[in-house]
Amino acid sequence: MATSEPADMAAPPQARPSSLVKRHGLATRIWHWVNAVTILVMLGSGLMILNAHPHLYWGQYGANFDRPWFNVSSVFEGGRVPGWLTIPSQYNLALARRWHLTFALILGFGLLLFMVAALANGHARAFRMRLRELAPRALLHDIREHLAFRFHDPADPTAFNILQKLAYVVLIFVLLPLVILTGLTMSPAMDAAWPWLLDLFGGRQSARSIHFIAAMSIAGFILVHLLLVVAAGPINGIRSMITGWWRVPGETP
């Protein structure tokens, strides 16, 4: 499908005199920054909502007389997530829900639009994994390269390495859909509209637990993502996510 966007990463890099290459398409860049804000809001407000009942259960039901598998008190003294991690910072369930349920729409529909755009502009091909890339030796090689702070294949520097592909595929096609679907399962009206949600996750309280685990996995992804951006050259990385242009490493301007 023809688009005005350069097919980032799928096509050979368009070299400029200073070795700047077009790295990220417009859809990717918009979605990235919208998500940067949205996911932070979702994590902060979600942790505040957790404070309203800081226990997690498996199954259809779960309340004070039932046995939780997780209590916030096993992580934080006082049994509540501290204010510097929550939105708002003072206990306010109603306001946290307003943040969470409004921004949930941005997260959900943003993901949907990104998936459509990635298929349309060819970006989805950048995540295609070949079987040989997944061989244990290839994976080990890439891990060693990461530990040596070498993140790019000199022959094709704009291509994702296999650990990147795995991380983004898990994030975009597993964790984000999971956090959205388990979120919907907690809605009593959605359970009536789509009863299969309850069967898929084994009940509302199981969905609530999986929602929390998926959210914490996304938080873990963000942490590693930020560390690697810093390690791989933050100015170049951040500029490429704003303007789209990325300088091929190892070349001085």
Residues 42-61 that bind other proteins (CB under 8 A): 44, 49-50, 52-53, 55, 60-61
Residue 48 and residue 93 in contact, taking contact as beta carbons nearer than 8 Å: yes
The residue among 35 and 205 lying less far from other proteins, judged by its C-beta, is: 205
Contact pick of 110, 177, 202, 233 for other proteins (by CB under 8 A): 233
Least Cα distance to 228 among 117, 123, 142 occurs for 142
Contact 196, 243 (CB under 8 A): no
Q: How far is the CB of 245 from other proteins (least distance, A)?
A: 17
> How many whole angstroms separate alpha carbon 230 and alpha carbon 155?
23
Residues in the interface with other proteins (CB under 8 A) total 56
List own/partner pairs for 46-50 with CB under 8 A and 24 or more apart. 46/96, 46/100, 46/212, 46/215, 47/81, 47/85, 47/86, 48/81, 48/86, 48/87, 48/88, 48/91, 48/92, 48/93, 48/96, 49/93, 49/96, 49/97, 49/100, 50/81, 50/212
Chain positions 96 to 135 lying near other proteins, rule: CB under 8 A, are 97-99, 101-105
Site residues (CB under 8 A) for other proteins, limited to 168-207: 186-195, 198, 204-205
Q: Which stretch binds other proteins (CB under 8 A): 69-77, 91-99, 120-128, 135-143?
A: 91-99
- Region near other proteins per CB under 8 A, out of 8-16, 135-143, 145-153, 231-239: 231-239
Q: Please, what is the end-to-end C-alpha distance for the chain in angstroms?
A: 35
CB of 65 to other proteins, least distance (A): 4
CB of 187 to other proteins, least distance (A): 4
List interacting residues with other proteins (CB under 8 A): 37, 40-41, 44, 49-50, 52-53, 55, 60-66, 84-90, 93-95, 97-99, 101-105, 186-195, 198, 204-205, 208, 226-227, 230-231, 233-236
